[in-house]
Structure 1
Amino acid sequence: MWRVDQVFLARRGQRIEVTCSLVNDRGGLRNLSVVAPTADPAEALRHAARYIAGKGNVSSARQVRVRWAREQATTLQDELVRAYELADDFQDTFEDTLQEVRDRMR
């Protein structure tokens, strides 16, 4: 099973692209991207969390790190800033959607 390790946000015109970095127990790594139909970062993360959790092969998003992509950072310090509030929002939406998927599978 895969878990969400990091989430990167990047503005694409009036929308936000959300790229989720997934890792598994064997050291595998893959990225899933979704373009959210909104310019609001919180809503874009909720949209991506529902999409990723709905795929069914991602087991958790604990301790997920949310950052803006490098090209969105204006200074080197911005690259290091983590969006803790957005990370909590992503994790809550992910867990809620994952629970809905599990309930439907029973």
Structure 2
Amino acid sequence: MSNAKDVTDASFGADVLTADKPVIVDFWAEWCGPCRMLSPILDDIAAQYADKVDVVKVNVDDNPAIAAKYGITSIPAVYVFQGGEVAATSIGAKPKQVLEQEFAAFLK
């Protein structure tokens, strides 16, 4: 079972933009192989850093408005939001250690 919460076009503002702590958003789709490879890595990060960040998932097929708003053209796309703004991005499936390095400022 995933540690990441599913977020929709309707709930994105409340779940991500007004969150008290940084939110890692995984933009993904069911048919995307690299997205499926990345999912357990993000689940590990969600569990390990639950006190530092929230991790959520946005299915781009089901929620095209949010994907369009943030210009998601390649998936998996992982964005970190802080204070309602995009603070960091990572495109493509990467090992956990690489994501931890890329997002180190938010995981401390």
TM-score (norm 2): 0.28
Give TM-score, length-normalised by structure 1: 0.28
Where relative contact order (Cα < 8 A, 6+ residues apart) is larger, the structure is: 2
Q: Which has the higher strand share?
A: 1
Q: Which has the larger radius of gyration?
A: 1
